[in-house]
Structure 1
Amino acid sequence: MNNISATAGRVQGLDRKTLVGSDRFRFPLRGRSAEAEVIAAAISDVDSGESRIVLLRGVAGSGKTRLLGEILTSTSRSGWRAVVAVPDPESHLVPTAVLIDAALAAEPPLLTAADVAALATSPDSRYWFIQMYRNAVEAAAQENSFVFIVDDLQWADAASIAILRSLVSSMGDLPILWAFAARTGEHDENVRAALSEWATEGSVIEIESLSDDATVDMATDLLGGVPDAGLEATLRRAENLPLLVSELVQGLVEENLVTVDDDVAAVRDAQIPERFGASIRERIVRLPRRAGHLVQVASILGRNFSVSNLAELLGESTSELIDGIDLAIQADILVNGSPLKFRHDAIRETAELMLRPAIRTHLRRRAADIRLRSGEPLLAVAASVADSAERGDTAAVDLLHDAALQLAPVDATGAAGLANRAVELASSPDQYGLIADLIPVLWVGGRVDAAKTLAHGLKTVLSPADRARTQLAIARLETESSFAAAIATADEALAMDGVPLGVRAQLLAVKTLNLANIGDYTRLGESVVEARVAAQIAGDVAALATVDATESVLRFYEHRWADASRLIGTAVASMSRLPGFEAAQWLPEGLWPAFLANAAGEGREALRITEGRIEETQRTRSAIALAFWTMVKCRTLFDLGDLEEARAQAETVMTMAADLDLGDFAQATAGVVLYRVALLEGDYAACQAQSGKVRAMADSAALRLTGSWLLALTADADGDTESVMTWTAGAYETLEVPTPSLMTPADTADDALLARMWHKAGATERLERLAAVSRFRAETNPENALVKGIDAHIRALLSDSVDEMRVAVELLRTTERPLALALALEDLGLAEMKAETGGQEQSWNEAADILEKHGAVRDANRVLRHLRGLGVRRRAKASEQHSGMLSARELQVAERLASGSTTKQIASDLSLSQHTVLSHVRHIYEKWGISTRRALVERVARRAG
């Protein structure tokens, strides 16, 4: 079942009564004046249009919830919309449940049940849920200020934490108060990261114990009299924690241990338990035996529980529980409602600890089965099963196996924990095949050693077919991190007897793909043939299509572009005949037709393919596929010279990468585009911000040449010829090998940039080899104007030929590569000046026009320096990026925002993704020096006036 739909409605009753419904809130807030000032300032800032974060941290019972209640009460008086989320101790394994129920319980609801149900068929529900949630919050915040409250953040699930981080980071321009409360102590990695991030960006309030005076004031409110010296001494035993003070005073009153005469409260007996939670235990102990036992057993069911589940766990009828439940409610231990719930987590935790460990473990396991039968989601129960099951519990292994697979798409780390526990519990040979399913879960969740150990341990007990399938799963996972390891794993499986034909075909396809990834083209040719034969024998269309796509890449790098086009066309046609095939979902092979068209200089065709696929992914709600196709789009736009839109699309990818955990692949595509755009625009601050990632690419095995190329471009911009030669040494060594020497996928136009660098450095030997490769490529693809134009440009540099450079210019005029044309025009001017043929002024003026039009400020300034050397004074046109001027697209976005349109509406109007709209909004803020939506509205109004 889809995680989003499976969790909806699990946590009930999460409304503002959770924070302000208790009698405790009828008394004044004592001892928190400094904290109240921080909160009041944040509320005031939000009222002024700003976004603010308030983070409350303190031990259990310190008063965090009370302060959140004050925030909610204060903002409600001003008519703010609010969402209140309250995770419970078992929320950490139930993806997004706490956010869904908070949205459904808001007044009016932020989302509807139909909104949530609509995500049930989405392959990437978490990503689309973020978009839906963000749209709802944005729409509410545009009407009035908004407060989003999360209590007990330490228990929130990983998906909810990730979504909250995304919402906070992307909505800093809206009047929203984000108020979070968390216990101090050790937290998991997700919670630690969120708390660290918000502590840096917001106001942190450390909730300490009350002062002695504040404790006395609190007791006075509760008792109706001022404590005398004896009672003050007794109160100090509650450690000045508000919860314990309240519990202590209530216990004194219930046992008739305090008197109030003439507005003075005095204690009769100082025998009060001193350690934390003792007063709570005493209240449970003082209940009649059956009622106390009921409370202890109920604690096993969690913060909220149904009477029917409690009755089944106790082995009694619901009618037999009525008296005990009433007594627990009267003692303020339970809160009446459906479901019942403990008044405070400290009470529930204390009640649970009162059970003997063996009994507690037994009850937790029984309770898990009861909760499942009552309809609670699998993931809501998984943690309890993991804690209470014993080795050999086959039902627990089955449950944890299913839970791990269900959780893996949204919380890989949590899923790996469940998978590891399932492995520990398994003891039956009948379950070994089931356990093998969990190897990828362990791997993706970061437990690579455990996955390898498990795979090794299962070798002798699995059938050859199951073992081969396990190796295939590992090889696919290793493809993302170690191409060589993936090949070794595939080879090991292929060497076994009894491998099914279909699995063998897929193993060979994976091996072939990874041989291409490492550039082992000696073995790749043989592997392609072997994999093709195996796929044909097995009748495995998908494996055969992967082989065709891989061979297409090989033929491209061999400069046999017609063959490359034919092979990928065949692959797509074969896949299209499979039932249910969607071209946009075939990743990464399906990206290649667009990449190939763009590399061949057919950028508009590549853009047509890409935009069609993006529309398809949005319709089918496939976020991963959307991110990949947006990567292709940003690269295509860059090569077409549309730097502004390329930057916006690349930023979109990087934002999605954070939501979808895309890792290094996004950096190697969109990150490269962002860096190159910054270089062309002369935005050295942006380059510096990304320099660490570029260095990391250059230091890695898989992306060494790409990272080195970016560093060579940087060195060239700085005039550092020596570094240029160092960083392009790898490109020189691989020029004649059918592999990308610069970017991935390779771009022919980059060869002209490389030739310019080596020409400037006087590296004739390198330039000659590059020219030979370029000549072969042009002869092999004689109809391609881009290939011929770049070849002419390189040979013109080698021979210092004005005529050859003019040929290059005319050929490049017929292509869709304006920046390549501009560089050829610049070099034509240099050649004309050197040969004293004249005409350089015209060449350089045209080059400057093109570069300025496309925002390539750095290159334009270099050409303008050439013109100044001729005595031609021409003022540089400031780029929109640095002048404060909005581009046409940015102006469209600004005007729509000012008119009250939401991000979602603007994206629909302008046929953009919402992330791209947000990217444009960020650039508007940077150019105008503003940071809020309200300031933007005022700026647009002034422009109109």
Structure 2
Amino acid sequence: MGRNLLLTRAVDEAAGRGFAVTGGSASGLRRLAPLGSLFSVFQGLGMSEGSAFETGASENLFPAIDELRGLVQSRSADRPVLVWLDDVQEADLATLLTLKILPAQLASAPVAWMFTRQVTAARTTEADLLFDRLRHEGARYIELGPLGNEAIAEITADVLKAKPERELLALAAQTAGNPMLLVELLKGLLEEGAVRVSRGEASLISNVVPQRVRTIVQRRMDDLKPDTRRLLEVAAILGRCFSAEDLAELLDRAPVELLPAIREAMAEGVLIEMAQAASFRHELVWRTIVEMIPMTVRQAVHRQIGEFLLDRGELSETAAEHLILGTPPGDARALARLDRAAAQALPTSPSTALHLTERALQLTDQRDSDWLARTATAVETLTLTGDLGKAETLARAALAEPTPMPTAARLRIATSAILHLRGRPAEARAEAVDTLALPRLPVNLRDKAEVALLHAMAADPGERAGEERAAAVLDKPDRHGDAALITARILLATSAWARGELQEGLRLAREAVGHALLGSIPARRTHPRLTLASMLGDVRRLDEAQGLLRTAERERSSLDHHAWAAGTSALQARIHLAAGRPDDAVAEAAAALRLATETGADLFAPTAISVLATAALRGGDMTLAARHLERFEDLLLERQAVPDTLRCTAVLAQVNEARFGSEAATALLSRLRDADGRYRRLLVTAPDSGAWLVRLALAGGDRAQAEGVVAVAAELAEGNPCFAFLTCAAAHARGLLRRDASLLDEAAQSPDPWCRASALEDCGVVLAAASARQDAVGRLDQALDLYQRHGAARDAARVRSRLREIGVRRRHWSRRARPKTGWASLTDTEQKITGLAAQGLTNRQIAEQMFLSVHTIAFHLRHVFRKLEVGSRVELTRLSLEHDRKR
């Protein structure tokens, strides 16, 4: 760890100051004789061979110590003396006893002592006791710990005479800050041409461990007992970190039998102890040990490890990696083992199954009869893990080949699921129908195809064929699995909801959630909680909806179902917006849109887009709102129909009205009319749009259309009296039509803060027209306050204008001006997240404390890092602590 360099510099410094310097190492053959190490040390002060010190040490130690003390005193009379001894941990007991006595006896003489030793972590030695005593007596103690990242980078640049690139620094970091190992690694890379230096920058060409490092590690291994060497080799194949139980099972020995070898490896600094495991101290040493084991042996041991992990039911990424590393190309038995492991992992850990399947495909010839079956498994895992584009491409390529049953059915079912998630229900439906028409379709695959078909039909709630199919499934529950029964309930729930039968919709959705709670994994992957949470969000039962979403996200994560990640985030964004938290809504919606883009799950994109566009519209940024809606218009051009098409189209119409006038909005609304032209389905999924539809119709002189909207809103409220939001929405629409202030006051009791403000604004307008100026000002002031508190700058500006029209001026309210960078630039939410992050909480822990999603926390932290100009949590913590100290 740099002891030699430290000693060399110290000796040079002492010699330059006129010291008489003498020293040596306690290692070597001389240490085998009592005081043998010290004799070589004090030869530098004039002690000659044959002295009483040399010949009498083995018989009587104390006369030898007296002679040594006299020699040092004599030499120090002329000038100061420095005595140094390296590798004290190797010294004999007589030498250690002498070193305990002499410094104290010569304390008044001008003599400096410098001792070094290598610390052994696993046991206390006599050298450790000596150092403890000397420290107690006032000696200065310097511990040479591992180099930090900056020092590693500096040494790397110094040795290579160039600035190292990131990959090279990552390799250098594997030395764990050991200077000798680092320098030998770098010299070895240079000698073997594994580094390229160009224009002052050094880049890594080969990541193979250089021979210099191999030689060092080999010497270290040769110094160990045979049992310890064997243990380390097997442990290295297990991984850098390993448990004693796994190692014992692999070696077919009891854990207690491994203790001596593990203790020796720890005493020599090769292994270190960690919580419930052991680990190789240096990643580079671990890699080197692995690479020194012949490939055929490594593969056999990896295969053995993978098999015993698989046999005991462990299907982690670690188990998968061992199976993969133990499978050579063309080994049919080994490939069959990968297939078995992938099938076992698929229900609970699709990412592990994907890892296994992709490797099996790489090792399978496309002409092999197993290639199509492995491709089907890969498509299924890619669909679950959220790589829908790749999954669709792979499925279509496989289906283009002559594909036997049941592989063809598996591929078609997966394709239907992919198309559903990509927001293409008509294609998903056709694929599922074609699958169900296949002859000799196995029962289990028929049920999966039924689930795919019901999912596709649910995209058009209220369609008679879909309801009949779902009812037929529920009529014969013994013929279907729980996933099909749950999906049928979801379809019927959404259909009832679209008709305005909200209680029935909620009942069916709650039934679906209850059945999924204790159901199979495929049943839980239907995610009925999202359907129920969406319905509760529509009627502003936000607390229950938020609780469902938190549970749904935990379950989705535990099921490794990444394809649906955008769904929970998008719905969470809707909840935040409805609760009057636009900043959190935007953060969550942006995360949802990013996830939808990453996975290809366009099914959830319109929900996120509608939130982003609504927030931008309320904030007065028409350009941003229009830019968000461009992606939605692209989806419409592709003829995609997804759950929030209605809501998103309504927002698009509102933005067009704000930008181009009411005629532009009216043209768009023709897409939303039902058979009776009264927007029933829109008023069910977005009751708050009723007032806007009435206002728009009246502005266009179409009173009949306005009356139709009011009639539907009233019908929904009367048919569902337990939902206050519907009652308030109906009162708002009727109050606008009749210009009735009492109805608008009733609407102002809405659980949605933005809807409350809107009703108060309309009430103020009606009162002002009736010359009730004081009451009008009161309502408009309340509306202004609500709009401002919930980030609706555009609406607030309109209310201020209305107040000016009746002779009242209100100062423009705006958020506190913030700088672009620095602590003062952080919002309250960002400051709270920063404080929790500085306490060491993970994103998930912060999310649980703040009742936000992990994606929202990550979104806010990215902004924090940018504003504070930091690149890591360590820097963030430092800034947070400094800020707290200044307050």
Q: Distance in 1 between matches of 2:872 and 2:393?
A: 47
- 2:570 corresponding residue in structure 1: 631
Q: 1:736 to 1:556 in 2, by over 3 A?
A: farther
**Aligned partners of 2:661 and 2:548: how far apart in 1?**
40
Letter in 1 for 2:611: V
Partner of 2:486: 545
Q: 1:492 offset after TM fit, Å?
A: 2.2
For 1:604 and 1:587, how far apart are their aligned partners in 2?
22
CA distance 1:402–1:681, shift in 2 (3 Å): farther
Residue-by-residue CA offset, 1:793-841 (whole Å, 9 max, x unaligned):
22333x3x232x531431441x311111211121222233344454322
For residues 724 and 609 of structure 1, the distance between their equivalents in structure 2, rounded to whole angstroms, comes to 35
**Aligned twin of 1:338:** 289
Query: What does residue 123 of structure 1 align with?
Result: none
TM-score, normalization by structure 2: 0.58
Residue 485 of structure 1 pairs with residue 427 of structure 2: yes
Work out the CA distance in 1 between the residues paired with 2:678 and 2:413: 29
Q: Tell me the equivalent position of 2:20.
A: none
- 1:568/1:738 Cα in 2 relative to 1: closer, same or farther (>3 Å)? farther
1:920 maps to which of 860, 870, 874: 860
1:483·1:515 contact (CA, 8 Å) conserved in 2?
Answer: yes
Distance in 2, matches of 1:891 and 1:930, equals 15
One-letter identity of the residue aligned with 1:696: D
| 8 A Cα contact 1:401 1:438, kept in partner | no
Q: Does structure 1 conserve the Cα–Cα contact (< 8 Å) formed by 2:761 and 2:783?
A: yes
Give runs of aligned pairs for residues 167-566 of structure 1, distance below 5 A.
Answer: 208=198, 337-340=288-291, 373=303, 389=330, 394-395=332-333, 398=336, 409=351, 419=361, 422=364, 424-427=366-369, 436-438=376-378, 440=380, 444=388, 446=390, 448=392, 451-452=395-396, 454-455=398-399, 457=401, 461-462=404-405, 468-481=409-422, 482-519=424-461, 521-533=463-475, 535-566=476-507
Aligned runs of 1:10-49 on 2, under 5 Å? none
2:695 counterpart SS class? helix
Call closer, same or farther: CA 1:554–1:536 in 2, change over 3 Å: same
Aligned to 2:761: 826
Amino acid at match of 2:716: R
**What corresponds to 1:107 in structure 2?**
176
Q: State whether structure 2 residue 788 is matched by structure 1 residue 852.
A: yes
* Structure 2 CA distance for aligned equivalents of residues 832 and 675 of structure 1: 31
Partner of 2:728: 789
2:654 counterpart of 1:713? yes
Aligned to 1:220: none
CA separation in 1, counterparts of 2:554 and 2:397? 43
Number of the residue aligned with 1:680: 618
Of the three residues 69, 73, 80, the one matched with 2:155 is 73
Describe the superposition over 1:113-166 as per-residue Cα deviations: whole angstroms up to 9, x where unpaired: xxxxxxxxxxxxxxxxxxxxxxxxxxxxxxxxxxxxxx9xxxxxxxxxxxxxxx
- Of 748, 753, 756, which aligns to 2:695? 756
Q: Structure 2 CA distance, aligned partners of 1:617 and 1:560?
A: 29
Write the deviation string for residues 895-927 of structure 1: whole angstroms up to 9, x where unpaired: 556788776775566465554334334555788
Q: Given the alignment, which residue of 647, 663, 667 partners 1:726?
A: 667
Structure showing greater radius of gyration is: 2
Match in the other structure for 2:830: 890
Query: Could you say which residue in structure 2 is the equivalent of 1:60?
Result: none
Secondary structure of 2:812's counterpart equals coil
Counterpart in 2 of 1:775? 714
- Work out the CA distance in 1 between the residues paired with 2:533 and 2:560: 21
- What CA distance in whole angstroms lies between the structure 1 residues aligned with 2:612 and 2:843? 23
Does structure 1 residue 645 correspond to structure 2 residue 727? no
Could you say what secondary structure the match of 1:517 adopts? Answer: coil
Q: What are the residue-to-residue correspondences of 1:735-746 with 2, within 5 Å?
A: 740-741=681-682, 746=685
Contact 2:461 2:495 in 1 (8 A): no
- Tell me which amino acid in the other structure corresponds to 1:672: S
Q: Distance in 2 between matches of 1:484 and 1:593?
A: 24
Q: Superposition RMSD on alpha carbons, in Å?
A: 5.4
CA distance in structure 1 between the partners assigned to 2:840 and 2:326 by the alignment: 48
Residues 865, 876 of structure 2: 8 Å contact kept: no
1:873 paired with 2:809, answer yes
Q: CA deviation at 1:421?
A: 6.9
Residue 599 of structure 1, aligned match among 528, 538, 551:
538
CA 735–505 in structure 1, closer or farther in 2 if over 3 Å, else same: farther
TM-score with structure 1 setting the length: 0.55
- Give the deviation of 1:618 after TM superposition: 7.2
Change (3 A) 1:661 1:369: same
Structure 2 CA distance for partners of 1:519 and 1:882, relative to 1, 3 Å = farther
Distance change >3 Å, CA 894–CA 484, structure 1 → 2: closer
Q: Tell me how far apart the structure 1 counterparts of residues 378 and 560 of structure 2 sit (CA, whole Å).
A: 27
1:402-438 per-position Cα deviation (integer Å, ceiling 9, x unaligned): 698789738979966964874713147xx87666545
Q: Which segment is superposed worse, 845-854 or 890-899?
A: 890-899
Q: Distance in 1 between matches of 2:301 and 2:367?
A: 21
**Relative to 1, partners in 2 of residues 1:337 and 1:795: Cα closer, same or farther, differing over 3 Å?**
closer
Query: Of 798, 815, 824, which aligns to 1:862?
Result: 798
Query: Match of 1:724, as an amino acid?
Result: A
Q: Find the aligned partners of 1:503 and 1:381 in 2 and give their Cα distance.
A: 29
* Cα distance change on mapping 1:645 and 1:448 into 2, 3 Å: closer
Q: Distance in 1 between the 2:865 and 2:515 partners? A: 48
| Counterpart residue number, 1:237 | none
Instruction: Describe the shift of the 1:845–1:475 C-alpha distance in structure 2 as closer, same or farther (beyond 3 A).
Output: same
1:664 aligns with 2:602: yes
* Compared CA separation, residues 866 and 557, structure 1 to 2 (3 A): same
Report how far residue 763 of structure 1 moved: 4.2
- Between the aligned partners of 1:938 and 1:209, the Cα distance in structure 2 is 35
Matched to 2:669, the amino acid is T
Report the Cα distance in structure 2 between the residues aligned to 1:243 and 1:573, rounded to whole angstroms.
57
Distance 1:894 1:70, change over 3 A: closer
Q: Is the 8 A contact 2:454 2:470 kept in 1?
A: yes
Unaligned ranges ≥5, structure 1: 1-14, 17-67, 88-98, 110-150, 152-182, 184-204, 215-240, 245-303, 305-334, 343-362
Q: Which has the higher contact order (CA 8 A, sep 6+)?
A: 1
In the other structure, the counterpart of 1:810 is 746
Partners of 1:672 and 1:917 lie apart in 2 by: 21
Q: Report the Cα offset of residue 504 of structure 1.
A: 3.5
Query: Given that residues 735 and 773 in structure 1 are in contact (C-alpha distance below 8 angstroms), is that contact kept between their aligned partners in structure 2?
Result: no
Following the alignment from structure 2 to structure 1, what is the Cα–Cα distance between the partners of residues 373 and 446? Answer: 19
How far off its partner does 1:521 sit? 0.8
Q: Which runs of 5 or more structure 2 residues have no equivalent in the other structure?
A: 3-149, 179-185, 187-192, 207-238, 240-285, 307-318
